[in-house]
């Protein structure tokens, strides 16, 4: 007859379904590696998000500065009539270099140039003009308002005048005799 004291004692708190049984040491090692990889992915993702937010804020600021740059360019064009040694003209040339250095440092590049082909994803056609020598049909003949790229995206589209060949009259209309001829 077995002794009643030989029975195995029950645990103080029974294991619940939410608590997994203790894992062997190698399982803890695997869990640690996965946790470390998850943390590294989280760190990289937050870094990308922080950089994206920073670029968006800088882009918004630069977009607000563009009208000031255009006003400065208008003043610079007006001063071009002054002699080359005039201090005002020299000062505006220095400011122009400072603006260009700032925009280049921020990753801002101009979009439109006269003679380049028109690209609808970066520019808006505001007019048409006949083609000129060196500017074929479909090319930019005039930049009305400069557009800018910012880290590969369009900060502001350019407004341009595009060269367009005059419409060719249909040949059938030229070959038919006019009704007035006998």
* Closest by Cα among 111, 110, 112, 109 to 140: 112
Is residue 67 within 8 Å of residue 99, measured between CB atoms? no
pLDDT value of residue 167? 73
Report whether 163 contacts 135 (CB < 8 A).
yes
Alpha-carbon torsion angle 170, 172, 174, 176, nearest 10: -160
Predicted local distance difference test score (pLDDT) of residue 135: 85
Q: Which CATH class is domain 108-166?
A: mainly beta
Burial class from Cβ neighbours inside 10 Å (0-12, 13-18, 19+) for residue 92 reads: buried
- Which residues of the chain, if any, have pLDDT below 70? 1-25, 172-182
* Boundaries of every domain in the chain: 26-106, 108-166
SS3 73: helix
pLDDT of residue 179: 56
Contact 164, 141 (CB under 8 A): no
In this predicted structure, what is the pLDDT of residue 40?
Answer: 96
Residue 99's pLDDT is what? Answer: 93
How many other CB atoms are there within 10 angstroms of residue 32's CB atom?
10
Cβ-contact 176, 154 below 8 angstroms: no
Crossing angle of helices 25-79 and 87-106, in 10° steps, is 160
Question: What's the pLDDT score for residue 145?
Answer: 92
Residue 92 to residue 79: CA distance in whole angstroms: 8
pLDDT for 45 equals: 97
Task: Quote the pLDDT of residue 6.
Answer: 55
Residue 15: what pLDDT?
Answer: 55
């Amino acid at each position: 007859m077995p002794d009643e004291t030989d029975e195995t004692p029950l645990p103080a708190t029974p294991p619940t379904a939410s608590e997994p049984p203790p894992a062997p040491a190698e399982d803890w090692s695997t869990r640690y590696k996965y946790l470390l990889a998850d943390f590294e992915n989280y760190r990289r993702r937050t870094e990308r998000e922080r950089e994206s937010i920073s670029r968006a804020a800088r882009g918004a600021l630069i977009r607000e500065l563009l009208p000031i740059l255009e006003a400065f360019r208008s003043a610079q064009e007006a001063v071009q009539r002054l002699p080359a040694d005039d201090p005002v003209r020299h000062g505006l040339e220095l400011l122009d270099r400072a603006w260009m250095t700032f925009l280049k440092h921020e990753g801002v590049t101009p979009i439109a140039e006269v003679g380049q082909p028109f690209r609808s994803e970066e520019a808006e056609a505001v007019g048409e003009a006949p083609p000129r020598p060196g500017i074929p049909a479909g090319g930019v003949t005039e930049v009305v308002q400069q557009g800018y790229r910012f880290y590969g995206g369009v900060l502001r589209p350019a407004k341009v005048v595009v060269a367009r060949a005059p419409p060719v009259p249909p040949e059938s209309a030229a070959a038919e005799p006019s009704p007035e001829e006998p």
